[in-house]
């Protein structure tokens, strides 16, 4: 099978003032993969995602489907097939669930397909349909995460960036969310997953990169890393 | 009783003008978390835009509803252009700087416009053209209702409903609310943050332009320093209602307008301006979030 590279990150640097958060990392994602970035707090996982979606400035190349995103403003990157469920879910609490989802399809005009995608989200997360006219701030943590992922799906991305979808959720909800990510991937979505929950993330990932203080220290297949001694010691607490 | 009713009408018409201007403060605060102190000067310039466009179009002595509408639209457009340039040249370059820098810049822009206006238009007051006749329309329980008050209330209520529609029932309004909650999240969803902020300035300054014409109609006198006091009072109204809240600005303006008129009638006209600042101090001491304000938690 010929693999197609969907995202290629080359020599990426991110700095906040004098502090360098990302120190020249390179990685790539093939179409149809789930790739995880794992690492401790402050390793630079979120900064990497923010650089890809353009919320923070960065040096280096970020190439999505052969297009260098460097010169493309943040708000136009969604049209190139990028969507993100940001850190802390980033939902709009004073808007209804419906309005949040509508904002996902903000830059789209294909009405029929939008309707179809909306129904697809309701199939993935039936709970959202029940709460459509409720303010998003009144949802439970798990429901907010579902909303955040659905909103990203409504952007109709080719590459979905998920920033710590398991953060602050009960274990049973965490497994649900990871099942959904697996299902999404099975239906063709390429996913870049950032997680502290290394065990869950690695078990559903095709490949993974381990980030330590802004550098990639280890890479490999998800299952292999699960059995890697260093990873087991540092991230799985075994 | 009749007297009280008359005072209430006066208070509401004054208050609705405060509300219109307060909306500009509150909208810009909602989206940029900054007090746009130049807003009161956009309002002042609006009065002069109306004055000169009426002169140029030779409409200063032909009061009618059409005249009013024409001057309203010209003034709204001119105020929008002015606010857009202020945003683009003074505020946008500072967007990534600490909020205090923008605040001080806003005060600078405000002073700049006040003195430029004095140089260009002269410091003497000018007589505002008669855009609409003040005639008795009808009586309610023996209280005469005149066309000035009806115009002021009618125009401001229409403008407020238009704003409400814009903010809560259009895609642009949805984008405004998204940017006001989180510019970063809004931008990853495809919302052009700079353009949305620019539209917010257009909406706020259009309302200030409308306000300036209504004041011109009511008091018939305009001058380059006219923005200072009304700007401060509208700011108090916005804080009273809860800065950042649209409903709050409307309610705050009306409460301030009515209480001001009542203080003048039943107290003393000397306390007219003191009242607004008394309210400000009271609110800041006891309910800093305002009537409709949310308790915001500063995350660190």
- Let me know whether A77 and A1 are in one domain: yes
Higher pLDDT, B27 or A228: B27
Mark yes or no for CB contact B185/A95 under 8 Å.
Answer: no
Tell me the average pLDDT of chain A: 93
For a pLDDT cut of 90, what percent of chain A falls above it? Answer: 85
- Let me know whether A21 and A138 are in one domain: no
Residues of A in contact with B188 (CB under 8 A): 53-55, 74-75, 77-78, 82-84, 86
Tell me the average pLDDT of chain B: 92
Any CB–CB contact under 8 A between A75 and chain B? Answer: yes
Looking at A140, A156, A172, which one is the last position of a domain? A156
- Let me know whether A205 and A236 are in one domain: yes
> Which of A47, A73, A74 would best serve as a mutation to test chain B binding (most B beta carbons within 10 A)?
A74
Any CB–CB contact under 8 A between B177 and chain A? Answer: yes
Contact criterion met (CB below 8 Å) for A160 and A184: yes
Q: Domain limits of chain B?
A: 2-286
Any CB–CB contact under 8 A between B184 and chain A? Answer: yes
**The residue to which tokens 């402050």 are assigned:** A42
Which residues of B, range 73-102, sit inside 8 Å of A by Cβ? Answer: none
Query: Can you read off the two tokens belonging to residue B252?
Result: 């705050």
Domain count, chain A: 2
Residues of A in contact with B175 (CB under 8 A): 103, 106
Residue A86: closest C-alpha in chain B:
B185
Residue A91: closest C-alpha in chain B:
B185
How far apart (Å, rounded) are the C-alpha atoms in residues B52 and B18? 24
- Residue B76 backbone dihedrals phi, psi, to 5 degrees: -60, -40
For a pLDDT cut of 90, what percent of chain B falls above it? Answer: 75
- Let me know whether A8 and A76 are in one domain: yes
- Let me know whether A207 and A170 are in one domain: yes
Per-residue pLDDT band for B300 (boundaries 50, 70, 90) equals very low
* N residues, chain A: 238
Yes or no: domain B2-286 corresponds to CATH 3.30.1340? no
User: Based on the number of CB atoms within 10 Å of its own CB, is A230 exposed (0-12), middle (13-18) or buried (19 or more)?
Assistant: exposed
Average pLDDT over residues A149-154: 96
Looking at A128, A156, A184, which one is the last position of a domain? A156
How far apart (Å, rounded) are the C-alpha atoms in residues A58 and B36? 32
What pLDDT digit, counting tens, does each position of B97-155 carry? 998 999 999 999 999 999 999 999 999 999 999 988 888 888 877 888 888 888 999 99
pLDDT(B295) > 80:
no
Half-sphere exposure of B16 (CA within 13 A, CB side): 23
- Let me know whether A114 and A187 are in one domain: no
Looking at A141, A156, A171, which one is the last position of a domain? A156
B98-133 in b/e burial notation, b at 16+ Cβ within 10 A? eeeebbebbeebbeebbeebeeebeeeebebbbbbe
Query: Can you read off the two tokens belonging to residue A165?
Result: 């979808």
How far apart (Å, rounded) are the C-alpha atoms in residues A149 and B236? 41
Mark yes or no for CB contact B174/A103 under 8 Å.
Answer: yes
Residue A161: closest C-alpha in chain B:
B188
Residue B184: closest C-alpha in chain A:
A55
- Let me know whether A23 and A76 are in one domain: yes
Residues of B in contact with A111 (CB under 8 A): none
Per-residue pLDDT band for A174 (boundaries 50, 70, 90) equals very high
> Which of B182, B187, B190 would best serve as a mutation to test chain A binding (most A beta carbons within 10 A)?
B190
Please state whether beta strands A59-64 and A67-68 pair in parallel, antiparallel, or not at all (unpaired): antiparallel
- Let me know whether A222 and A126 are in one domain: no
Cα diameter, chain B? 59
CATH of the domain at A212: 3.40.50.300
Mark yes or no for CB contact A106/B171 under 8 Å.
Answer: yes
What pLDDT digit, counting tens, does each position of A38-78 carry? 998 889 999 999 999 999 999 999 999 999 998 899 999 99
Residue B194: closest C-alpha in chain A:
A75
Per-residue pLDDT band for B299 (boundaries 50, 70, 90) equals very low
Residues of B in contact with A90 (CB under 8 A): 182, 184-185
Residues of B in contact with A83 (CB under 8 A): 188
- Let me know whether A173 and A218 are in one domain: yes
- Let me know whether A58 and A121 are in one domain: no
- Let me know whether A148 and A164 are in one domain: no
Which residues of A, range 28-67, sit inside 8 Å of B by Cβ? Answer: 53-55
What pLDDT digit, counting tens, does each position of B75-100 carry? 999 999 999 999 999 999 998 899 89
Residues 6+ apart with CB under 8 A from B186: A75, A103, B175, B178, B179, B193, B196
Host domain of residue A10: 1-81+160-238
Residues of B in contact with A107 (CB under 8 A): 189-191
- Let me know whether A169 and A217 are in one domain: yes
What pLDDT digit, counting tens, does each position of B210-249 carry? 999 999 999 999 999 999 999 999 999 999 999 988 999 9
Higher pLDDT, B60 or A90: A90
């Amino acid at each position: 099978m010929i693999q197609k590279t969907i995202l290629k990150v080359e020599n990426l640097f991110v700095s906040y003032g004098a502090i360098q958060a990302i120190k020249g990392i390179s990685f790539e994602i093939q179409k149809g993969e789930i790739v995880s970035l794992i690492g401790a707090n402050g390793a630079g996982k979120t900064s990497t995602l923010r650089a890809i979606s353009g919320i923070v400035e960065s040096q280096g190349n970020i190439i999505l489907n052969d297009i260098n995103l460097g010169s493309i403003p943040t708000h136009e990157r969604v049209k190139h097939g990028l969507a993100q469920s940001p850190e802390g879910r980033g939902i709009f609490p004073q808007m209804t669930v419906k309005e949040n989802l509508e904002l996902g399809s903000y830059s789209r005009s294909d009405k029929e397909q939008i309707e179809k995608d909306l129904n697809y989200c309701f199939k993935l997360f039936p709970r959202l349909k029940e709460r459509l006219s409720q303010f998003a701030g009144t949802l439970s943590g798990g429901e907010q995460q579902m909303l955040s992922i659905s909103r990203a799906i409504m952007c109709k991305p080719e590459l979905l960036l998920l920033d710590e979808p398991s953060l602050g959720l009960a274990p049973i909800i965490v497994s649900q969310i990871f099942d959904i990510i697996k299902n999404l991937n099975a239906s063709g979505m390429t996913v870049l997953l950032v997680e502290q929950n290394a065990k869950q993330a690695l078990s559903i990932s095709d490949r993974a990169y381990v980030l330590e203080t802004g550098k990639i220290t280890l890479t490999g297949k998800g299952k292999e890393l699960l059995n890697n001694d260093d990873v087991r010691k540092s991230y799985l607490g075994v | 009783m009749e007297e009280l009713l008359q005072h209430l009408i006066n208070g509401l018409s004054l208050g609705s003008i405060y509300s219109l201007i307060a909306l500009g403060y509150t909208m810009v605060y909602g989206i940029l978390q900054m007090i746009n102190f130049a807003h009161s000067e956009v309002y002042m310039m609006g009065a002069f835009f109306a004055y000169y466009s009426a002169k140029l179009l030779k409409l200063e002595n032909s009061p009618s509803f059409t005249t009013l509408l024409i001057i309203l639209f010209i003034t709204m457009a001119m105020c929008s252009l002015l606010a857009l340039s202020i945003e683009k040249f003074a505020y946008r370059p500072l967007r990534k700087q600490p909020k205090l820098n923008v605040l001080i810049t806003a005060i600078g822009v405000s002073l700049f416009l006040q003195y430029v206006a004095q140089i260009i238009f002269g410091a003497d007051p000018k007589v505002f053209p008669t855009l609409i006749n003040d005639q008795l329309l009808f009586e309610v329980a023996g209280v005469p209702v005149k066309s000035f008050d009806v115009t002021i209330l009618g125009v401001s209520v229409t403008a407020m409903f238009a704003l409400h529609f814009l903010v809560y029932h259009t895609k642009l309004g949805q984008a405004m609310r998204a940017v006001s909650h989180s510019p970063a999240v809004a931008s990853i969803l495809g919302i052009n943050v700079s353009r949305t902020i620019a539209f917010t300035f257009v909406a706020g300054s259009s309302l200030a332009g409308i306000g300036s014409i209504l004041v011109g109609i009511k008091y018939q006198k305009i001058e380059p320093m006219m923005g200072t006091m009304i700007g401060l009072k509208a700011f108090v109204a916005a804080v009273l209602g809860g800065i950042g809240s649209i409903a709050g600005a409307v309610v705050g303006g009306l409460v301030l307008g009515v209480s001001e008129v009542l203080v003048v009638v039943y107290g003393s006209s000397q306390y007219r301006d003191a009242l607004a600042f008394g309210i400000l101090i009271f609110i800041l001491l006891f309910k800093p979030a305002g009537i409709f304000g949310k308790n915001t938690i500063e995350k660190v």
